[in-house]
Chain A
């Protein structure tokens, strides 16, 4: 409270780069900063530099649609994201920064028999693991979201929904800033506008990185670069089974809030929520083609509007204010790739597709533990890069025709 009357810097101004750090983190987004934060906080590792080619939170961390949830299909995924949601619930207090986490509940709509089976499957897996999820039907959906079109006389009627009460939306930039402030106060250096151009190795292990502001020696490099992860891994000659696609979203002008639950429809390829500012925030599925060019398409606005109005006809005269795109790094099984690679000291957090932001706290915690103990924590073991060589995929694909 006292902080509202006095002006206090969130983080130190960017200083000179040192010639050596123990750990270099590439990417000052939610994953990079949270890893830095937990390295300092949980393990006392503070000789850490977080580098970013742009401003902090300039990539996926500042472009996602801010949905937090744990209702995944695979036991591995559900346990992992459940740990993340728990951390998110305590994060504002931990960082002493209000992240405006609104756990308003999350509905994944089923418009077909197949959709209901997937919803059942996720509910059953979740229930076994102690995650609050259940399948509800139109009478109960109507109570949670009376504004939605529940008519049976449409092409994709709402037949059921997976209801996940702890699901919510959060202020994504605040997560980035909170972690940045925490990491900075913990002693970590943050270097925006510092692009990594090379990764030095010898005898199969990392020795340092080259940047646009000079070379750095280090023992560990952690790449948290989402849409650019394959480009950064290329610098270490680590091939990743990842393709990069754009994902688009838009907001409407603010109107008085009436939607107090997050709606996701894989059939309609949209997800809809209303922010605390009153804007409707609507996102789509990733575009099928691969690109690093963050340019949106007009057809996205058209089909998203069309599908939104199928569910919410009253938004017919709501106006789109702005749209934007972000890059998504998609793995073959729609699960992340986390931890060690064949190059000693080169760790990755990638393959997040459209659900990386919701994992930020647990990624930071587990990667920091991995760096400190040199042991892969059991929670992230299933997500090792190695799984693609062993054909031990963790398939979220079946549950994720649309990924939020």
Chain B
């Protein structure tokens, strides 16, 4: 006895002994549902039986087998426990406690190491039986590089001219991808030719007691006797519909097992088979009432080709009445089926008409995984679940761990008998990958999620930066004192690492045209050395990303994007470049360059200590771009002001990141320089009402309603999203992005809702911060257009209450932008 069954907790012993059925599933070293018959023995392995309350021999839940039958017919749970409604959670708790097979330690950590390898071979043969080995040999003789995959670790295969890989082919996916689970390594094979030699699976017969411990399939006998030299019983009876049963009888006789009889159902007119036992273990079998004592009953219901891989790859499956089995046809190109999976050597396996399968009393199992009996299936049909797919969902037959290997054909046979049709008209259910169970660990490979760090990362940590995630980047939230960092930018000078910005070079004779088409504003008329703000739109006129565009020369532009949007913008540029076919080259140099922003009233003074460039307001005025050396490092200097003060954004090769950072801090020390993090930057930009794309905008925001209509040049021939923005202009704005300040200074949540009178949301808060400079809570919000006027009032949800806010349309700080331009 190895386990207890899913529903009735009946004792289960070896049935197939070839890794298909659920009967030998145990928890091995913490891994649940291991088919121990196919698991190599390890010294000290910890084996625990599953689905047992108490011990394996005395399972307390076995009571469900005694009393459960009449009360728990198929689908009983759909018909009971409906009223009263409030009692259902209790029933459910009971059901959940009874559910499941093995147990996973909820606190286990990842322990094993898994790898993925991409491999190629000219021919991949799946299955190392006779036909598979022959095919492998044949292709190898033709000089092909052949790999043969075999999942039975004990099957001996001579490694001759081909490679043998021990593992399980999980399926055939598009492009001929065959992943092979080889324990801790997943091999992803791509080949020219796939040979499927997965053989056939022996099918059980359906009769009362067919799940008793001691009832086996012929292959189990073969493996026990030939591979393991184990005597499976003392006195055996064989009932069979093919030659396999007879072979098993001969094999058993050869090792001295007494044979109580061999009954070939193709010839013998037997109506009724009943296996009887005590405590779940076989004692005898009755054939039409004639009792034969035995402790081993070999049943053979014919063999069914294991066609799943072929069906997944696109082959059709057809019933062949002569062999009583389903065979694959219309096999796709590049795939070949050989051996018994293709129907070779399958003997006719149709029992004589007198044998009608299940009969008499006692449970006849069609599906041992899910404890589905023939009665369950017949009842399902009588209730109207008359197609196989419906019955599968209703009874759960074929949905258990064996995935139909041992129950698909028997259930089709029951169906055909009940509907008085032949199995061919019943059809099959879809073969779903994977072909065998595979652990999440093998599929996942090594735990690995990429993270990005700027070249100045370690300086931030040394300076006490509190790191936070922004997308895949780690950035400093602040260096411990948000307010002081804000004040440093307003009062002296601050330094922030902005290396995470996306950076693109757009170069070529048609670069200007390219950007004109992508952005709603103009870039063709820009002089070299100037900068413009740009917002990218989708085809539907929705805001996608923003950044600055500096013209470096007639045919070269330097484009920055948001930190988290860089990847999408690069794809966007490349997509449109392919569509338009302009003479433009795009280079993503995000990682190649580091960038810092020096900002504050004393920034210019600091710049004079760093560079030979003339940094006077006349020489580099607001929105100018210059190239020169900063601290001796070739750099691009962009005069822009996201944080609202005089500022210079310096872009330079990232290997100099720490050097430039250090030099700036050192030379600015007496000016009161402070590094500032992302949080102070967010406060500073909010004071200026500079938007953060993705925070203040969402997938429906457009430039007109986001209060940036000035950036949209409708007189341009065309640009991405033009028609949509024209539509918005024609219908007029419905909602608008505005600033607001809180009346009583409480902080609303970002994502808080704007309401007017009724308790119904009409807008939403996108940003909110306490401004130490202004001494109040400020923010940005989407409000209905009628509220988009200075001083308009609305309410904001805070903790289930409502606080009053006032609309502000101009920047909270330096509304005229004098400090930016100073």
A contact set with B: CB distance below 8 Å: 1, 3-5, 7-13, 55-58, 62, 75, 89-90, 92-93, 96-103, 111-114, 116-125, 127-129, 135, 146-147, 154-157, 171, 173-174, 177-178, 192, 252-258, 260, 275-278, 295-298, 301-302, 304-306, 308-310, 313-324, 332-333, 391, 393, 395, 397-398
A-B contact pairs, 28 of them (CB 8 A): A7-B383, A90-B85, A98-B81, A100-B77, A103-B89, A112-B469, A116-B751, A117-B750, A118-B751, A124-B751, A124-B753, A135-B749, A156-B449, A254-B401, A256-B102, A258-B104, A276-B92, A278-B99, A295-B174, A301-B433, A317-B31, A317-B104, A320-B434, A320-B440, A321-B437, A323-B432, A391-B724, A398-B699
Once the chains bind, are A316 and B755 in contact (CB under 8 Å)?
A: no
By beta carbon, the residue of chain A nearest B442 is A305
A295, B314: Cα distance in complex, Å: 10
Given contacts A1-B79, A156-B449, contact A253 B108 (CB under 8 A): no
Give chain B interface residues in 751-779, CB to chain A under 8 Å. 751-753, 755, 759-761, 764, 766
* A278–B727 touching, CB < 8 Å: no
Query: Looking across the interface, which residue of chain B has its beta carbon closest to that of A396?
Result: B699
Instruction: Give chain A residues whose Cβ lies under 8 Å from the Cβ of B385.
Output: 10
Given contacts A9-B383, A314-B104, A320-B437, are A124 and B112 in contact (CB under 8 A)?
no
CB <8 Å contact, A98 and B96: no
CB distance from A73 to the nearest CB of B (A): 9
Cα distance, A275 to B753, chains bound together (Å): 35
Which of B295-303, B386-394, B511-519, B708-716 lies at the binding interface?
B386-394
Interfacial chain A residues near B760, Cβ < 8 Å: 75, 128-129
One of B68-76, B131-139, B221-229, B248-256 at the interface:
B68-76
Min distance, Cβ B2 to any Cβ of chain A, angstroms:
16
**Is B44 engaged at the interface, CB distance under 8 Å to the other chain?**
no
* Binary flags per residue of B430-454, CB closer than 8 Å to A gives 1, else 0: 1011100111110111011111000
Cα distance A1–B31 when bound, in Å? Answer: 39
Q: For B99, give its contact among A121, A277, A314, A318 (CB under 8 Å).
A: A277
For B444, give its contact among A92, A103, A306 (CB under 8 Å).
A306
Question: Does B30 interact with chain A (Cβ within 8 Å)?
Answer: yes
Docked Cα-Cα span, A55 to B386, in Å, equals 10
* Interface pair A315/B104, CB less than 8 Å apart: yes
A105, B219: Cα distance in complex, Å: 47
Q: Are A313 and B110 in contact (CB under 8 A)?
A: yes
Given contacts A255-B102, A320-B443, 15 further A-B contacts (CB under 8 A): A4-B73, A55-B389, A97-B78, A100-B92, A101-B88, A112-B471, A114-B695, A117-B695, A121-B751, A128-B759, A177-B394, A255-B103, A278-B100, A298-B188, A324-B432
Contact yes or no, B469 A147, CB < 8 A = no
Q: A7-B379, A10-B385, A98-B79 are in contact. Are A318 and B101 (CB under 8 A)?
A: no
Tell me what chain B mostly uses at the interface: helix, strand, loop, or mixed: loop
Cβ A4 vs Cβ B76 within 8 A: yes
Interface flag for B470 (CB, 8 Å): yes
Contact A314 B106 (CB under 8 A): yes
- List the B side residues contacting A92 at CB < 8 Å: 82, 85, 88
Bound CA–CA A100/B80 (angstroms): 10
Contacts of B468 in A (CB 8 A): 113
> For the complex, is B582 an interface residue (Cβ under 8 Å from A)?
no
Task: With both chains docked as a complex, state the minimum distance between the C-beta of A377 and any C-beta of chain B, in angstroms.
Answer: 18
Q: Is the CB of B108 within 8 A of A316?
A: yes
Using known A-B contacts A97-B78, A128-B759, A320-B443, determine if residue A55 contacts B470 with beta carbons closer than 8 Å. no
List chain A residues, Cβ under 8 A from B102: 253, 255-256
Q: Does residue B111 face the partner (Cβ distance < 8 Å to A)?
A: yes
* Residues of B contacting A255 in the complex (Cβ-Cβ under 8 angstroms): 32-33, 100-104
Q: How far is the CA of A3 from the CA of B81 in the complex (A)?
A: 12
A-chain residues with CB within 8 Å of residue B99 when the two chains form the complex: 254, 256-257, 275-278
Q: Give the docked Cα–Cα distance between A192 and B385 (Å).
A: 12
A contact residues around B761 at 8 Å (CB): 75, 124-125, 128
Q: Are B78 and A98 in contact (CB under 8 A)?
A: yes
Pick the contact of A314: B73, B89, B107, B448 (CB < 8 A). Answer: B107
Q: Is the CB of A316 within 8 A of B797?
A: no
Partner of A316, one of B430, B438, B441, B699: B441
The residue on A at minimum CB distance from B759 is: A128
Contact of B384 among A3, A10, A89 (CB under 8 A): A10
Residues of A within 8 A of B72 (CB): 4
Q: Does B60 contact A (CB under 8 A)?
A: no
Closest 4 CB pairs of A and B: A278-B100, A120-B751, A121-B751, A305-B443
Complex contact A120–B387 (CB within 8 A)? no
Cα distance A89–B88 in the bound complex, in angstroms = 11
Interchain CB contact under 8 A, B78 and A120:
no
Q: Which of B33, B106, B451, B540 lies in contact with A319, CB distance below 8 A? A: B33
Assess whether B818 is interfacial by the CB under 8 Å rule: no
B608 at the interface (CB under 8 A from A): no
Most buried by A among B170, B445, B749, B800: B749
| B179 contacts A by Cβ under 8 Å | yes
Contacts of A12 in B (CB 8 A): 384
Q: Determine the distance from Cα of A46 to Cα of B581 in the docked complex, in whole angstroms.
A: 59
**B110 A117 Cβ-Cβ under 8 A:** no
Contact A319:B797 (CB < 8 A) given known A98-B78, A156-B469: no
| Assembly CA distance A252 to B382 (angstroms) | 31
Closest to B434 in A: A320
From A123, which residue of chain B is reached at the shortest CB distance? B751
In the complex, B694 has a CB within 8 A of chain A = yes
Query: Least Cβ distance of A320 to chain B in Å?
Result: 5
Bound together, the chains give a CA A97 to CA B432 distance in angstroms of 29
Structural contact, B699 and A397, CB atoms closer than 8 A:
yes
Instruction: Choose among A13, A155, A309 the residue that contacts B451 (Cβ–Cβ < 8 A).
Output: A155
Interfacial chain A residues near B340, Cβ < 8 Å: none
Contacts of A114 in B (CB 8 A): 694-695
Chain B contacts for A171, CB-based, 8 A? 78
**Which residue, of B72, B85, B384, has the highest number of chain A Cβ atoms within 10 A?**
B384
Tell me if B105 counts as interface (CB < 8 A to partner A): yes
B95 and A124 within 8 A (CB)? no
Q: Is the CB of A321 within 8 A of B403?
A: yes
User: Chain B residue with minimal CB distance to A159?
Assistant: B469
Complex partner residue of A258 from B81, B106, B751, CB under 8 angstroms: B106
- Considering the chains assembled together, what is the distance between the CA atoms of A276 and B396 in angstroms? 13
B472 within 8 A of A: yes
Whether A121 contacts B753 by the Cβ 8 Å rule is yes
| B647 within 8 A of partner (CB) | no
Nearest chain A CB to B721 CB, angstrom units = 13
Q: How far is the CB of A195 from chain B (nearest CB, A)?
A: 15
Chain A residue numbers with a CB within 8 Å of B394 are: 173, 177
A304–B441 Cα gap in the complex (Å)? 11
B179 pairs with A298, CB closer than 8 A = yes
Q: Does B700 contact A (CB under 8 A)?
A: yes
CB-based contact B751/A7 at 8 Å: no
User: Which residues of B have CB within 8 Å of A295?
Assistant: 174
